[in-house]
């Protein structure tokens, strides 16, 4: 198991070098905004009947949000 955002220790509870709460919120906001940027591309791809591309954009949007760097605040 690997810890994220600077947490360390056996159960990732050592926060001596962890990112601050403000930075964690900033990371979450930037991830959310970047994923929202995929929505217009998905809509345009569906409008033009490019369903494979729309699914690829949707998968990229979903899997970037549920990756190992995902934060639960």
pLDDT at 73 over 50: no
DSSP letter string over 42-69? HHHHHHTT-HHHHHHHHHHHHHHHSSTT
Let me know: does 4 contact 69? Beta carbons within 8 Å: yes
pTM (2 decimals)?
0.62
**Taking residues 2-15, what's their average pLDDT?**
76
- Give CA angle at 51 (41, 37), nearest 5°: 15
How many Å apart are CA 71 and CA 73, to the nearest integer?
6
9-50 pLDDT tens trace:
777 877 777 778 888 788 888 888 888 889 999 999 999 999
Please tell me the total number of residues recorded for the chain in this structure.
73
pLDDT value of position 69: 56
């Amino acid at each position: 198991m690997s810890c994220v955002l600077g947490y360390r220790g056996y159960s990732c509870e050592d926060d001596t070098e962890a990112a601050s709460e403000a930075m964690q919120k900033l990371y979450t906001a930037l991830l959310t905004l970047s994923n929202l940027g995929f929505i217009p591309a998905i809509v345009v791809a569906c409008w033009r009947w490019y369903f494979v591309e729309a699914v690829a954009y949707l998968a990229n949007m979903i899997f970037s949000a549920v990756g190992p760097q995902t934060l639960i605040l």
